[in-house]
Amino acid sequence: MTALLGSRSDVPTDVRPGTTPVPRRRRRRFTVESTAPLLLVFPAIAILLVFRVYPLILGVNFSFTGDQELNGVFIGLDNYVTLMNDVRFHAAARNVIVVLLFVPIEVFVAGILATFIFLKVPGHRFYRSVYFLPVVLSPIIIGAIFNIVLAANGPLNELNRAVGLPIVDWLGQSNSALPSVLGVHIWATFGMALVIFLAGFSTVDQELLDAARIDGATLPQTIWYVVIPELSQTIQFVFVTTTIGMLTGLFGLLYTMTAGGPGAASYLPEFLIWKLNGEAKPALASAASVVLLLLILVIGLLQIRVLRRATKEV
Amino acid sequence: MKRMINSAALGLAAALTLTACGGASAGGGTGGGSGTDGGTADKLVVWNWGAADDAAAAFQEDVIATFNEQNPDVEVEVVSQPFDQYYTLLGSAIEAGTGPDVALFNGGTQLKSRAGSLVPVTDELADITGDLAGWPAFQADGETYSAPMFLQGFPIYYNKAIFEAAGLDPEAPPTTWEELGAACDTITSSTDVSCFALGNKEGLGIEFFLSGFGSGIFTAEEYDAWIDGERDWTSEHARQVLTMWSESSADGWYNEGANSTAMFNDSFDIFSGAKAAMVIGLSSGIAHWKQFDEFLGDDLGFMMPVTTNEGTTLALPIEGGIGYGVLNEDKKDLAVDWIKATVERDAQADYALAGGQIVSNTTVELDTDIASAQAIITELPGSKPLLHTSLSGDTLDLLHRLGQQLLVGEVTVDEAAAQLQASEG
């Protein structure tokens, strides 16, 4: 008790010597000042909870139940075991790695083209709009266009034929189907990454660039020691959004261009989820969704960590 | 970042805690249903996957009119659901007790696997049994669950003009596998078109091949056993189907890039556009005699499957395509009237011509001079059900994927047969 009193006496008060000590009043919990911010953010949080978190929890919950005659019955991890034994799931998981290999390509393409535009190459305004144009096209339309372009008797193969290269059924062969779709995806979406890069360039400190020039830094040195560290936040952001875009935004192209085939060669988790749902196995599809969620979470966090080191951000 | 991990962990923990409360039952009502356990007597709720064209819409109006002649005070509410989600939505609605009174089903696996939810109408339909063909696809365990509206089959169509150009007799199409192989060699070497049009992007090609050529490969006993569920993919003749499929591709029968060509409708367009000599098409709905006739006219020919093995009996592969099943016991009488309206002679006769259907009502005379349609009808008496519609969904999906891999030589016949056998369980 004395200790408690002693500790209390340590609390600094605004009592000044010579004034009568005022008995301390307990702070009121619910003042306008303390509740107003909560009230103001409540709608946003409520929307997030009701439309994002709650369905997510329902989905996870649903993935522990069975399908068809076992509808609504708790079956533990059976759906996850089924997934682990499904060749399509194996193919989808393998293909995620292929997709990740294409992420640096898209970031590099966007980065290098953004640099050219930043350096104001002749016609940079024209190129900026041209690069961004495919972003506004629907994946279904892009898929339909490239179905024709990449067809066995399509223009690309005609070009091959004209220069004496072999004909390739780009979308009908296991080793070329997914890379073709990813190539088209990069073409269709790098414009967005490019715009983000351009926004990032505008934040590069001109004084640092000038200082580097005065110190006699070469162009590669300037890029490596000044521009990349300055753009580290932007590069991180582009990497993460491009990865998420590739993992969750390929459905339209896959659906129109390969339908997952040949075999399961171009299956991705997202396509598998849709396919399983169509096979009247919504609970199994939920399990696949949970795996995809975890996968994106882990990959996203790892990427941020790796990129922080790579871009030398302190 | 720590906060991200913490909140993710929190979310998962909350999810796992909730799991203990038991599984979520699938979806609620998907609208339209008056409920299987009640509802008003003067309304019949019908689910289908919509009318594809004007002819189908006109047919639906005819059916409603026929139904209302007998039940003038009953309102028919037709709810169209998207086909790719149809059975998922229907399953959820039945589960939640908000299913329709009658629903459209594909014959074969789709109907038989749901026989438990359906009301048998064996006695009620007994009086029209003799008038219709294609019943087996709508029967299970000795009970009848629906009446077939149309017959769906996989006839082989060919282009007589291309046969003639290749120096083949257009009136005597091949009758054995060897003759077919020789004809394909002649066509590919003497013309610049492919022998068969094939679209295998969705993997459907191999099921058309299996059902299209099956009766010439399997003996009658094997065929019937297959339909009854006794299937052995590692047997000689089942493996032969896979080998023939693989070799026909290696021998260059198909258009370039078959694996990246959509069956509906790119491959059928190849045949309609006279860029392939033959195609395994359909008998009703789409890719049928009427559609091809518009492009090829008198050059359109129909041929039966070819004899591959001795001791087989060639049969046109065709069965009841679609029909309405009864879900609400309380409205069984109205539902039976609805089913009978869908197979009523006049409505079917009109739709057969307008929409290009081989209808189930055998009293309907197809009033067309399209020779291939008449030839298909001539073969109906000896016809057999389709081999692929008796497969489970899982096996069929695997078959689609293996079909694509066999076509480009990425899997061997033995491996494919073993995987298929394993999927049969």
Helix (H) or strand (E) holding B221: helix B220-227
A216 Cβ contact partners less than 8 Å away, ≥ 6 residues apart: none
Give, in degrees to the nearest 5, the angle at Cα B341 between B339 and B343.
80
Q: Which of left, alpha, beta for A86 (phi over 0: left; psi -120 to 50: alpha)?
A: beta
Mutation pick from B255, B267, B404, B410 vs chain A, by most beta carbons of A within 10 Å, is B404
Residue A129 located in a structural domain: yes
Q: B320 - beta bridge partners?
A: B151
- Find the DSSP H helices in chain A: 2-10, 32-48, 54-62, 78-84, 87-118, 124-132, 139-149, 155-162, 174-201, 206-214, 219-222, 228-230, 232-248, 251-257, 269-278, 282-310
Express each pLDDT in A193-208 by its tens digit.
999 999 999 888 889 8
Does the pLDDT value for residue B38 go beyond 60?
A: no
Topology adopted by domain B156-315+391-423: D-Maltodextrin-Binding Protein; domain 2 (3.40.190)
CA distance B313 to B216: 6
Does the pLDDT value for residue B306 go beyond 60?
A: yes
B144 Cβ contact partners less than 8 Å away, ≥ 6 residues apart: B120, B121, B122, B125, B135, B138
B24 contacts A61? CB cut-off 8 A = yes
AA letter at A50: V
DSSP secondary structure letter of residue B307: B
Cis peptide upstream of residue A262 (ω within 30 degrees of 0) = yes
Mutation pick from B259, B395, B410 vs chain A, by most beta carbons of A within 10 Å, is B259
Question: What is the band of B41 on the pLDDT scale with cuts at 50, 70, 90?
Answer: low
Closest-approach residue (CA) in chain B for A290 = B12
Question: What is the band of B406 on the pLDDT scale with cuts at 50, 70, 90?
Answer: very high
CA distance A147 to A143: 6
CA distance B9 to A38: 24
Between B414 and B353, where is the model more confident? B414
A168 Cβ contact partners less than 8 Å away, ≥ 6 residues apart: A157, A160, A176
Express each pLDDT in B103-129 by its tens digit.
999 888 788 888 888 999 999 999 998
CA distance B375 to B381: 12
CA distance A91 to A98: 11
Name the token pair of B196: 């068969």
Residue A102 located in a structural domain: yes
CA distance A72 to A7: 57
A262 contacts B404? CB cut-off 8 A = yes
Q: What pLDDT is stored for residue A25 in this prediction? A: 58
Q: What is the ipTM of this complex?
A: 0.80
Residue A59 located in a structural domain: no
Residue A64 located in a structural domain: no
Q: What's A141's domain CATH number?
A: 1.10.3720.10
Asked if residue B276 lies in contact with residue B197, where contact means CB atoms within 8 angstroms, the answer is yes
- Shortest Cα distance, chain A CAs vs residue B344, angstroms: 33
Does the pLDDT value for residue B315 go beyond 90?
A: yes
Q: Which of left, alpha, beta for B192 (phi over 0: left; psi -120 to 50: alpha)?
A: alpha
* Residue A49, helix vs strand vs coil: helix
A53 contacts B11? CB cut-off 8 A = yes
Closest-approach residue (CA) in chain A for B83 = A278
- Using CB atoms, pick whichever of A56, A151, A280 lies closest to residue B87: A280
- Cα A226 to the center of its chain, rounded Å: 26
CATH for B43-152+319-368?
3.40.190.10
Share of chain B above pLDDT 90, in %: 66
Residue A39 burial (10 A CB sphere; 0-12, 13-18, 19+): exposed
Domain with CATH 3.40.190.10 in chain B: 43-152+319-368, 156-315+391-423
Residue A281 located in a structural domain: yes
Name the token pair of B41: 């007597």
* B 227-286 residues inside an 8 A Cβ radius of A: 255-261
Q: In 3D, which of A173, A231, A222, A239 has the Cα closest to residue A202?
A: A231
What are phi and psi for residue B159, nearest 5 degrees? -105, 110
Mutation pick from B19, B260, B396 vs chain A, by most beta carbons of A within 10 Å, is B260
Q: What pLDDT is stored for residue A313 in this prediction? A: 54
Tell me how many residue pairs between chain A and chain B have CB atoms under 8 A apart: 126
> SS in 3 state form for B154-197?
CCEEEEHHHHHHCCCCCCCCCCEHHHHHHHHHHHHHHCCCEEEC
The total domain count for chain A is 1
CA distance A14 to A8: 14
Give yes or no for B9 touching A (CB within 8 A).
Answer: no
User: What residues in A contact B23, CB-CB < 8 Å?
Assistant: 61-62, 64-66, 71-75, 283
Between B97 and B123, where is the model more confident? B123
CA distance A158 to B372: 37
Q: How far apart are the first and last CA of chain B?
A: 47
Residue A14 located in a structural domain: no
DSSP secondary structure letter of residue B412: -
Q: Residue A211 belongs to what domain range? A: 88-310
One-character DSSP codes across B51-91: -SSHHHHHHHHHHHHHHHHH-TTPEEEEEE--GGGHHHHHH
Task: Please tell me which of A34-38, A125-129, B232-236, B351-355 the model is most confident about, judged by mean pLDDT.
Answer: B232-236
Residue A8 located in a structural domain: no
Q: What pLDDT is stored for residue A26 in this prediction? A: 59
A147 contacts B260? CB cut-off 8 A = yes
Each residue's pLDDT, cut to its tens digit, for chain A (314 residues) gives 334 444 444 444 444 555 555 555 555 677 888 889 899 999 999 999 999 999 999 999 999 999 877 888 999 999 999 999 999 999 999 999 999 999 999 999 999 899 888 878 889 899 988 999 999 999 999 999 999 999 998 999 999 999 999 999 999 999 999 999 999 999 999 999 999 999 999 888 889 888 998 999 888 888 888 888 889 889 988 998 899 899 889 999 999 999 998 999 999 999 999 888 877 788 999 999 999 889 888 988 888 888 777 766 54
Does the pLDDT value for residue B254 go beyond 90?
A: yes
Does the pLDDT value for residue B419 go beyond 90?
A: yes
CA distance B180 to B307: 10
Question: What is the band of B53 on the pLDDT scale with cuts at 50, 70, 90?
Answer: confident
Asked if residue B264 lies in contact with residue B285, where contact means CB atoms within 8 angstroms, the answer is no
